């Protein structure tokens, strides 16, 4: 019996008392000195960000419950990058980390089923370990763009409120019934998610809700009581501890705060070995959020 995706994620958070996720967005230009190469080809670039990712996984495993891999960083190196991405997903799972693939896929019907198979299926010739536990998806296509991703027994985080300024012009618009577009999508997500609630009370359909909109987060939390919130925007993107608190339930549960650049490039301050700097930043991040949520 495979555990429900939401339960597995919440259990992993509880074990470490750390409702956080480290975002891994590796770029060649910011690799630590020892991993840089003078002559960068496509394959060597893909291998270099793969190698950096493996070191990052070693540095954060045991300190945070989960990682979010940015698919775009790997896809930019074509099929070589996609191959390395699969290896990194497997490596993360082997280290006991819950893996979120941040690919923001979105299509309808049979095309959405193809994407679900690409991420969660065995058609890509991978073992079970090379598939992520969760995937981010786009919700602009509505219900038939969401359901196909939930059939594999894994989880999906649907975009509801994003952290970028341009998101306001779409998601922040006010409907005739008084709700924002983001709130109306939250209602769609909450409704679909009811069909996928696990024993622990959370759904395998979660929601992306940015930390940069604390006033929206409180209303979205009420509209989506069974959704785990994946919360980008903390740290480098400007959100602070006070901004993320409305994403949690009263018990300090149901949200995963993500930080990427502030952790994986922590070594750029130049102190000590680079992997140690990343580990320390991950630990500090987990402790800060764990305390704020009342789990430590």
Enzyme catalytic residues: 104
194 binds its own copies (CB under 8 A): no
Q: How far apart are alpha carbons 53 and 21 in whole angstroms?
A: 14
What CA dihedral angle connects 278, 284, 289 and 293, to 10 degrees?
Answer: 140
Beta-carbon count within 10 A of 3 CB:
13
Please list, in sequence order, all residues whose beta carbon lies within 8 angstroms of the beta carbon of residue 110, skipping any fewer than 6 positions away. none
Comparing C-alpha atoms, which of 43, 124, 25, 48 is closest to residue 80?
A: 43
What CA dihedral angle connects 266, 61, 106 and 232, to 10 degrees?
Answer: -40
Site for its own copies in 261-290 (CB under 8 A): none
Instruction: State the nearest-atom distance from the C-beta of 206 to its own copies, in Å.
Output: 16
Burial 228-238 (b: 16+ CB within 10 A, else e): bbbbbbbbebe
CA distances, 156 to each of 36, 180, 228, 263 (Å): 34, 22, 10, 24
72 binds its own copies (CB under 8 A): yes
Q: Which is nearer to its own copies, 66 or 73 (CB)?
A: 73
236 binds its own copies (CB under 8 A): no
Structure tokens at 158: 């649907």
Q: Which is nearer to its own copies, 76 or 284 (CB)?
A: 76
Rounded to 5°, angle at Cα 230 from 254 and 116: 110
CA distances, 166 to each of 86, 132, 174 (Å): 31, 29, 15
Beta-carbon count within 10 A of 191 CB:
12
Q: Which is nearer to its own copies, 84 or 292 (CB)?
A: 84
Q: Which is nearer to its own copies, 124 or 275 (CB)?
A: 124
Instruction: State the nearest-atom distance from the C-beta of 56 to its own copies, in Å.
Output: 17
Instruction: State the nearest-atom distance from the C-beta of 71 to its own copies, in Å.
Output: 9
190 binds its own copies (CB under 8 A): no
Instruction: State the nearest-atom distance from the C-beta of 91 to its own copies, in Å.
Output: 16
Q: Which one of residues 32, 62, 151, 167 is an interface residue with its own copies (CB under 8 A)?
A: 167
Instruction: State the nearest-atom distance from the C-beta of 133 to its own copies, in Å.
Output: 18
207 binds its own copies (CB under 8 A): no
Q: Which one of residues 3, 170, 242, 276 is an interface residue with its own copies (CB under 8 A)?
A: 170
Count residues binding its own copies (CB under 8 A). 67
152 binds its own copies (CB under 8 A): no
> Contact positions toward its own copies, by CB under 8 A?
25, 27, 41-43, 45, 70, 72-73, 75-83, 86, 102, 104-112, 114-115, 117-118, 121, 123-126, 138-146, 159, 162-171, 173-176, 178, 181, 184-185, 188
């Amino acid at each position: 019996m495979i555990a429900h995706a939401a339960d597995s994620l919440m259990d992993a958070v509880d074990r470490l008392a750390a409702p956080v996720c480290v975002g891994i967005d590796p770029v060649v230009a910011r690799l630590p000195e020892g991993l840089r190469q003078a002559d960068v080809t496509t394959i060597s670039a893909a291998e270099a960000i793969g190698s950096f990712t493996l070191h990052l996984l070693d540095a954060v495993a045991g300190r945070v419950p989960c990682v979010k891999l940015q698919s775009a960083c790997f896809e930019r190196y074509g099929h070589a990058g996609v191959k390395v991405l699969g290896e990194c997903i497997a490596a993360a799972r082997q280290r006991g980390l819950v893996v979120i693939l941040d690919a923001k896929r979105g299509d309808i019907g049979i095309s959405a089923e193809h994407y679900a198979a690409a991420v969660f299926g065995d058609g890509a010739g991978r073992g079970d370990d090379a598939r992520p536990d969760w995937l981010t998806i786009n919700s602009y296509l509505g219900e038939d763009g969401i359901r196909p991703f939930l059939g594999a027994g894994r989880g999906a985080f649907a975009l509801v409120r994003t952290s970028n300024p341009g998101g306001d012009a779409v998601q922040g618009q006010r409907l005739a019934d008084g709700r924002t577009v983001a709130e109306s999508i939250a209602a769609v997500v909450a409704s679909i998610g009811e069909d996928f609630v696990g024993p622990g009370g959370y759904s395998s359909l979660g929601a992306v809700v940015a930390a940069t909109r604390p006033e929206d987060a409180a209303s979205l939390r009420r509209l989506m009581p069974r959704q785990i919130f994946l919360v980008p925007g903390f740290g480098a993107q400007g959100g602070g501890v006070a901004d993320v608190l409305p994403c949690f339930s009263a018990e300090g549960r149901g949200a995963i705060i993500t930080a990427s650049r502030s952790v994986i490039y922590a070594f750029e301050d130049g102190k000590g070995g680079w992997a140690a700097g990343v580990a320390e930043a991950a630990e500090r991040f987990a402790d800060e959020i764990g305390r704020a949520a009342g789990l430590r």
